[in-house]
């Protein structure tokens, strides 16, 4: 039985501004670093065998902070990158409305299809399950990737936004993914952020 801790990166200035990040390489802000440190303190109390991360700066920075705490080297994985945002990257909802109108979501703006995000993420999770049987693996990624992957694995579960540094625990039991913990940010509450 493989256990996966699916984590969204810490906050960035673009998160606060409501800007679509996509594959733009945005770093953590000071709050994001503090969030990652609180999550790292939470995870260091348990034994984790491996850590994988998106190669984008905000996820990689989060993963390095966690990796240092749990004593594991970060393995970078491009399949964990955020959904590519095409022309909307760097824009706010208001800017998108001004530029493309209310039906901007219906336009071809080069945004990566949800199905493609789900396919690459699911392939990665299945590979990790095969490669690390019975081990505990930390996976640091992004909000949309986590949300779309979760929706693919658990189609009957209500769709939900994933918070910065949220912890979701997935286990594969009898060839079926189960969710032990979903979008938990108790470490932020405990640390008073």
CA-closest candidate to residue 39, choices 77, 68, 82, 75: 68
Given 9, 50, 129, 187, which residue is catalytic?
9
Of 50, 129, 142, 187, the active-site residue reads: 142
Candidates 152, 76, 86; CA nearest to 114 is 152
**Catalytic site residue 129?**
no
Between vectors from CA 150 to CA 108 and to CA 115, what angle results, nearest 5°? 30
142 annotated active-site = yes
172: left (phi over 0), alpha (psi -120 to 50) or beta: beta
Active centre residues (catalytic)? 9, 142
């Amino acid at each position: 039985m493989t256990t996966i801790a699916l984590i969204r990166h810490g906050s960035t200035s673009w998160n606060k501004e409501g800007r679509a990040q996509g594959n733009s390489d945005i770093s953590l802000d000071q709050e994001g670093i503090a969030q990652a440190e609180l999550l790292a303190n939470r995870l260091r109390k348990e034994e984790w065998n491996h850590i994988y991360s998106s190669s984008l700066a905000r996820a990689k920075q989060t993963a390095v902070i966690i990796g240092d705490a749990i004593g594991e080297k970060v393995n970078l994985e491009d399949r964990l990158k955020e959904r590519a945002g095409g022309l909307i990257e760097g824009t706010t909802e208001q800017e998108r409305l001004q530029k493309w109108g209310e039906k901007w979501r219906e336009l071809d703006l080069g945004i990566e299809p949800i199905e493609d995000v789900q396919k690459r993420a699911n392939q990665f999770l299945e590979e990790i399950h095969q490669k690390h049987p019975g081990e505990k693996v930390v996976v640091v990624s992004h909000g949309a990737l986590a949300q779309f992957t979760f929706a693919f694995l658990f189609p009957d579960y209500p769709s939900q936004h994933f918070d910065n540094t949220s912890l979701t625990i997935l286990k594969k039991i009898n060839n079926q993914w189960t969710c032990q913990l979903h979008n938990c940010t108790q470490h932020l509450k405990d640390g008073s952020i």
